[in-house]
Amino acid sequence: MKRTVTFLPDNASVTVDDNTNLFRAVKASGLYVLSSCGGKGNCGKCKVIIKEGVVESGKSRSFLSPEETARGYALACLSRVKSDLVVEIPPESRMQAKHKIATGANMEELIKLMQSAGGCLESRISRIYLELSPPTIDDNIADYERVRRALDKAGFDASLLHMNFLVLKKLSHVLREGNWNVTVSVFKVSAVLEVLDIFPGNATRTRYGAAVDIGTTTVVVYLVDMANGHIIGTASMYNSQVKCGDDVITRIVYATERNGLKELQDLVVGNINTMLAELAEKNKVPQAMIDYIVVAGNTTMMHLLYGIDPQYIREEPYIPTATFFPLIRGKSVGLQVDPQAIIYSMPNVASYVGGDISSGVLVSQIHKQDKVSLFIDIGTNGEIVLGNKDWLVTAACSAGPAFEGSGIKFGMRAMEGAIEEVEINSKTYEVNFRVIGDSKPIGICGSGMIDILAEMYLSGVIDQKGKIREEIGSKRIRRGESGLEFVIAWRVESAINKEIVITEVDLDNLIRAKAAIYAGFATLLAHMDMGFGDIETLSIAGGFGRYIDVERAITIGMLPDLPVDKFQFLGNTSIMGAYYGLLCDQLRHEAEEIAKKMTYIELSVSRSFMDEYMSALFLPHTNLNAFPTVKKELEKRKKVV
Amino acid sequence: MKRTVTFLPDNASVTVDDNTNLFRAVKASGLYVLSSCGGKGNCGKCKVIIKEGVVESGKSRSFLSPEETARGYALACLSRVKSDLVVEIPPESRMQAKHKIATGANMEELIKLMQSAGGCLESRISRIYLELSPPTIDDNIADYERVRRALDKAGFDASLLHMNFLVLKKLSHVLREGNWNVTVSVFKVSAVLEVLDIFPGNATRTRYGAAVDIGTTTVVVYLVDMANGHIIGTASMYNSQVKCGDDVITRIVYATERNGLKELQDLVVGNINTMLAELAEKNKVPQAMIDYIVVAGNTTMMHLLYGIDPQYIREEPYIPTATFFPLIRGKSVGLQVDPQAIIYSMPNVASYVGGDISSGVLVSQIHKQDKVSLFIDIGTNGEIVLGNKDWLVTAACSAGPAFEGSGIKFGMRAMEGAIEEVEINSKTYEVNFRVIGDSKPIGICGSGMIDILAEMYLSGVIDQKGKIREEIGSKRIRRGESGLEFVIAWRVESAINKEIVITEVDLDNLIRAKAAIYAGFATLLAHMDMGFGDIETLSIAGGFGRYIDVERAITIGMLPDLPVDKFQFLGNTSIMGAYYGLLCDQLRHEAEEIAKKMTYIELSVSRSFMDEYMSALFLPHTNLNAFPTVKKELEKRKKVV
């Protein structure tokens, strides 16, 4: 049975199965509710108020006062949906970040967020409605000159006018079709005023744009009404390039050594076209009216989108062809939009810090703060920015796509059938897990892997190096094809008729990934002669970031052991920044300033990074004292190894 | 037998058949020698000095003094080549125009001419050689940014840099192929510096351009070495669009009503490509190194080149899509040059006054004179400009292509087999004619038609209205399919086994054509409250203009009865102006100023033009007193009708 849950004050609705966990319903709606424990009933932060309808609530460990209970408060993670609901997320449970969280599903929020960052609806392209005087024998200037004259009259300096010949070709017909009333799309670069397109009549209200996030793994598209900034629709799909390689390095190899550049370009362009077509059809938007596309992604993704050989990104000294990409036309890469549409790519910083990160900083606003913040985008790669209003340093920590399932025997992305939460009993070593969709599991997603690593360590199944302690004598420990492994789900529990296990190779991959992230933080701080104590906020962006349980991530030493309230989750800041840049040219320009301001540290040749990395190849770290809460938890479980 | 004739001081050589008329040999060399009578031995102006070799000279009507004869002087039109020759054209026989005549065959002359018009070798595109520092881990900016930095260092403001993605695609490879020494082609529009192309090593000396004249009938291409302005080679061919119609109106109809726009575009692009390929191969110039093409032609030809529907050029109030065409890329129209090559079209003025005319004014320099001049380009159309340094008025007199053979029973263009000169005995009505190539005739070209009209009138075969006077009783007068006709060449004399005749319909067409030209002159003068007496110079441009015998053209009332020394022949000013614009951006800009300054008079709706035209539908004119020299000649022949 389906239930509709409406969340206030956003008035966002989501349809879920009966008995769905309310915490997951919040996630599914695209909204956020505070949680440090990731929805396990351990932190008491996900308080909501049930305004209408019925929930079935588990025990609340007395996180709620009697007064709160009387007022309808419940913990979302301990409540199950039993009817259609109206639920309020009270201020204390909303993200306490300097910036609120917004996603595509929460569209009005995103405009407000952009406005709070100083943005306004002033795009790079504008539509101007012109009422021309019809030509006569005495006023017989050319059509093009007539448009120029009208633009001049309307206050635009059209002395340096440019019109692509595709527009010129239809000019005479459009002018007459519109009975000399037309709308032009204009775009100004320096003193040159370019007419991008022309339409009969008044077409000032029918301009559309697209914000696109090209992730190594996922491509996201927002279709935007440029007249009012509304997000008409959003879509996302896996980047089809994945079949040519999970990470940027294998893609580069595929492009250069296997002559696959064109194929990779076509794949991602195909993804964007598929989603644009879907969104356009669904929302009755003519695709040819999409004239501005702002794309954010890592530097390699941008090279592949433009069809530029990324070879030298991979070879020392790691030089991309471009970081600030020149504008190109939609038709140049095969996007099915106005042929004259302009594609702008958010400014990249270096080979391994792309436009997704300048977008991220723009959204995080750390470049405007007095105090020092860390920003990390955890996607297929892990890029870190440290800084404040005076300076910004950045690095890519080549974490690799382990947490997205790559290189992990039963790894998978966060989708139906993925084990997303795991608990291991410290005495019996028995395993409890939760599966996305409440079905039998088929694999383990990133948050499940973090849980597994944390729980295996805390329960003593593995040692500080991630080695399985055979001596504990659990029946879940066994020797498989690639050495020792630990059974998470027995054959009867799984949907794939075999045990779902985690191997020592998996554990090693995960530890190397988390170590790279932590070492990245530490290296940037050391570079600035700082420590984690100097950090005011640690902002986590990225699709995967959304699902991270901060306490668990601290437990494995992926994130530093800071107070939980210093962390904020920003969501997909890449698409958010692209959306900002699409709508507001001033913010687009601000992103360029951010990118220019960032100092890039090449970690792959950094001695300091190697040292930090080696120290971080332990759980949580060679220096356990740097992780007091982990130490405390270990003591609690009496399993200090 | 072939003879080589070398002309001094130009040192231009031409190979001709033995016994060729020396006047024609001068023409064939592309040089000019003064002549009012068109080479008939009547004016004594075509004096040359035979420095080496032997000529056979006819009687010279004592135009030469004994002293001149002693010094080797001869009249070119009365001399026949009898050996290899070295011939000097003395200053007194050279064109006494304010500007010297130059054609493609006289390449150094054209550069000098351009320089005398204030031009210099400063094209819109420049090549810059850059020695970049190779990237290191510590200096790891992107390739694109490295080029930007180097351009900045070299003194170019590259803050607004643009690079087409085709160039961006090869950037990384070219930089490394050139071992970080590269040459960029840059192009500046407003503050934007565009990199058009990039080459490994120093390629500053290998830049090529093309000047193109797209005539309704003929297309001419000059291939130019942009490093020194030298014309590497020239080519011309008939505009293949001719098969879709002789004049611009039939081409417009073909484009719009018969859906032939793309075909017409492909035809002319094919013509240019053919000639570029031929010139490039012959001169070992890589076509991809041609990066700038300046095109001049009438407004309709420009629309067809760009592939723009010319429909409204033909419909009142006669509005072209553009007069000042935006720049386009070579690849946009299919030119086989650098895909990034820039195509610039010389500025047009109105639907029927094109870039060929702004080119013509630029070359004629009438826009810099204190006194008033008339300029006419006699091609398939007839465009007229009247003015001085303060003002310019212009009109198209829709003369039509009659003088190019269209609508004339035995009309043909000036090629082998065409009757080019005709004399009719005023008593016997017998005909003498001269044929290009000295073969039997196959038709009559423009200069032959003017001769025929003039001679038929002066000898009394036709009356002032162009009607054949049957009553004179010549056996050459007979009734053919389309009424009365006059035999120019008998069947036995012709190469086509039939009589070559001129019909009353032909005569009518020719008279209408010449009347339109004269009425154009008269209307522009009347518009400015002026008369022919105010004219300082009458410059004649155009392919056909080259072959006009001024006295004959006055006889039929095509040209006004001004002293012969007021006429100057400029040759193909359309290609010359395109060449100026190609090499010198300041002159290109001057052409735009010229075009802006010109006031266009639409003759087709002018009452005054219709009156003038009606008056000019007589030979030479209703008002014979306006043609005193014709009146005198008639009196001499005692045939005043």
- Over residues A430-460, the pLDDT tens digits come to 999 999 888 899 999 999 999 999 999 999 9
Per-residue pLDDT, A43? 61
Per-residue pLDDT, B62? 66
Which is nearest to B499 in space by CA: B400, B592, B410?
Answer: B410
**What would the pLDDT profile of A309-357 be if each residue is shown by its tens digit?**
999 999 999 999 999 999 999 888 999 999 889 999 999 999 999 999 9
Contacts with B140 from chain A: Cβ below 8 Å: 317-319, 350-351, 600, 602
Among candidates B165, B308, B348 on the partner chain, residue whose Cβ is nearest the Cβ of A168: B308
Q: How far apart are alpha carbons A327 and A350 in whole angstroms?
A: 18
Q: Do A144 and B324 lie within an 8 Å CB cutoff?
A: yes
Q: Is the pLDDT of residue B5 over 80?
A: yes
Rounded to an integer, the average pLDDT of B530-554 is 88
Q: In the structure encoding, which two tokens stand for residue A180, read together?
A: 């000399």
Quickly state the pLDDT bin for B641 (edges 50, 70, 90). Answer: very low
Per-residue pLDDT, A66? 79
Q: How far apart are alpha carbons B249 and B252 in whole angstroms?
A: 5
Contacts with A169 from chain B: Cβ below 8 Å: 306-309
Q: How far apart are alpha carbons A175 and B255 in whole angstroms?
A: 19
Dmax of chain A from CA atoms?
A: 101
Q: Do A160 and B190 lie within an 8 Å CB cutoff?
A: yes
Quickly state the pLDDT bin for A91 (edges 50, 70, 90). Answer: low
Q: Is the pLDDT of residue A99 over 60?
A: no
The whole-angstrom distance between A529's CA and the closest CA on chain B is: 20
The whole-angstrom distance between B140's CA and the closest CA on chain A is: 6
Q: How far apart are alpha carbons A157 and A159 in whole angstroms?
A: 6
**What would the pLDDT profile of A541-591 be if each residue is shown by its tens digit?**
986 666 788 999 999 999 999 999 999 988 899 999 999 999 999 999 999
Kindly tell me the burial class for residue A97, based on how many C-beta atoms sit within 10 Å of its own C-beta (0-12, 13-18, 19 or more).
middle
Find which of A168, A252, A299, A394 to mutate to test the B interface (most B CBs within 10 Å of its CB).
Answer: A168
Q: In the structure encoding, which two tokens stand for residue A88, read together?
A: 């309020």
Rounded to an integer, the average pLDDT of A381-407 is 90
Q: Is the pLDDT of residue A500 over 60?
A: yes
Which is nearest to B216 in space by CA: B194, B248, B188?
Answer: B248
Contacts with B160 from chain A: Cβ below 8 Å: 189-190
Per-residue pLDDT, A556? 97
Helix (H, G, I), strand (E, B) or coil at B150: helix
Positive or negative, the Cα torsion across B482, B484, B487, B492? positive
**What would the pLDDT profile of B175-193 be if each residue is shown by its tens digit?**
999 999 999 999 988 889 9
Which is nearest to B58 in space by CA: B220, B46, B478?
Answer: B46
Q: Is the pLDDT of residue B258 over 80?
A: yes
Positive or negative, the Cα torsion across B166, B167, B171, B177? positive
Q: Is the pLDDT of residue B128 over 50?
A: yes
Rounded to an integer, the average pLDDT of B281-285 is 95
Q: Do A325 and B141 lie within an 8 Å CB cutoff?
A: no
Find residue B572's DSSP bridge partners.
none
| Contact (CB, 8 A) for A548 and A568 | no
Higher-confidence residue: A59 or A213? A213
Q: Do A168 and B140 lie within an 8 Å CB cutoff?
A: no
> Between the CA atoms of A543, A546, A550 and A555, what dihedral angle is there, to the nearest 10 degrees?
-40
At B437, phi and psi to the nearest 5?
90, 0
Quickly state the pLDDT bin for B95 (edges 50, 70, 90). Answer: very low
Find which of B151, B167, B172, B305 to mutate to test the A interface (most A CBs within 10 Å of its CB).
Answer: B172
Find residue A6's DSSP bridge partners.
A13, A86
At A37, phi and psi to the nearest 5?
-90, -5
Kindly tell me the burial class for residue A29, based on how many C-beta atoms sit within 10 Å of its own C-beta (0-12, 13-18, 19 or more).
buried
Q: In the structure encoding, which two tokens stand for residue B422, read together?
A: 């005709």
Which is nearest to B268 in space by CA: B217, B331, B329, B310?
Answer: B217
Q: Is the pLDDT of residue B639 over 90?
A: no
Q: In the structure encoding, which two tokens stand for residue B36, read together?
A: 């009012």
> Between the CA atoms of B325, B329, B333 and B335, what dihedral angle is there, to the nearest 10 degrees?
120
Among candidates A137, A162, A600 on the partner chain, residue whose Cβ is nearest the Cβ of B602: A137
What is the number of CB-based contacts under 8 A between chain A and chain B? 163
Q: Do A317 and B135 lie within an 8 Å CB cutoff?
A: yes
Most confident of A6-15, A83-92, A263-272, B632-641: A263-272
Q: How many angstroms separate the first and last alpha carbons of chain A?
A: 48
CB atoms inside a 10 Å sphere around CB B1 = 8
Contacts with A176 from chain B: Cβ below 8 Å: 312
Among candidates A307, A348, A351 on the partner chain, residue whose Cβ is nearest the Cβ of B169: A307
Average pLDDT, chain A: 90
Question: Which chain B residue shows the shortest CA-CA distance from A309?
Answer: B169
Percent of chain B exceeding pLDDT 70 equals 94
Contacts with B163 from chain A: Cβ below 8 Å: 326
At A104, phi and psi to the nearest 5?
-60, -30
Q: In the structure encoding, which two tokens stand for residue A142, read together?
A: 């050319």
Per-residue pLDDT, A98? 28
Question: Which chain A residue shows the shortest CA-CA distance from B303?
Answer: A169
The whole-angstrom distance between A162's CA and the closest CA on chain B is: 6
b or e along A495-523 (b: 16 or more beta carbons within 10 Å of the residue's beta carbon)? eeeebbbbbbbbbbbbbbbbbbbbbbbbb
- Residues 6 or more apart whose Cβ sits within 8 Å of residue A490: A499
